Amino acid sequence: MVRMSDDPTRVQEFFSARAADWDARFPDDGPAYAAAVSALGLRPGGRVLDAGCGTGRALPALRAAVGPAGSVLGADLTPAMLAATVRAGRDGDGQLLLADVSRLPLRAGVLDAVFGAGLISHLPHPEENLRELARVVRPDGILALFHPIGRAALAARHGRQLTPDDLRSEPRLRPLLAGSGWRLTSYVDEDTRFLALAVRER
């Protein structure tokens, strides 16, 4: 079976078809994104990447957290999603990169944190790809894996069952992160949000 996540072109096709009305489909998520960003504990002047930033819904909160002296990057491999970010005026909140997060054009350890919303299930090689995110984050830096609804609610929205092998279940996610240079420190999976926080191991 070929999964969409095995092929970046299929990921691009999938999200290109949804880019124009992505924000309109989820108009009330802003406060949930702001709350998740606050869990990163960013400080003024901090450096953060929104990995798979899509239409940039997290960028305003990330910019507010690091202030004008900070650095906010938004990376996505789907040009149409980045174009929607620009149309929404969110390119003023961060520098946009047309890039695959499995091969980031960044030096090791340059970031304080990575925020990834709705990303992990699209990664073709999660352990290897999470290791690439760890590479660009300094020791003790933070990773947030977020979704504005929990796993069960998302499965119901997609008309599928939640299976025990789900990548984001705690028993699967904890060792996955540990094998990629991250230590899971907090895990919340409730109807109104999924948020896993991890610290970059030294």
Ligand X SMILES: C[S@@+](CC[C@H](N)C(=O)[O-])C[C@H]1O[C@@H](n2cnc3c(N)ncnc32)[C@H](O)[C@@H]1O
**Angle CA(114)–CA(80)–CA(53) in degrees, nearest 5?**
10
- What's the residue count for the chain? 202
Q: Are strands 182-190 and 193-200 parallel, antiparallel or unpaired?
A: antiparallel
If one asks whether residue 193 binds ligand X (CB under 6 A), the answer comes out as: no
If one asks whether residue 77 binds ligand X (CB under 6 A), the answer comes out as: yes
Looking at 72-80, 134-142, 168-176, 190-198, which segment touches ligand X (CB under 6 A)? Answer: 72-80
Binds ligand X (CB under 6 A): choice among 40, 48, 57, 200 = 57
Binds ligand X (CB under 6 A): choice among 90, 122, 168, 200 = 122
> How near is the Cβ of 33 to ligand X at its closest, in Å?
7
Distance CA 73, CA 50 (A): 6
**Angle CA(96)–CA(176)–CA(151) in degrees, nearest 5?**
75
Q: Are strands 71-76 and 111-117 parallel, antiparallel or unpaired?
A: unpaired
Number of residues that bind ligand X (CB under 6 A): 20
Q: Residue 42 or residue 75: which is nearer to ligand X going by CB?
A: 75
**Residue ranges in contact with ligand X by CB under 6 A:** 11, 15, 52-55, 57, 75-78, 81, 100-102, 117-119, 122-123
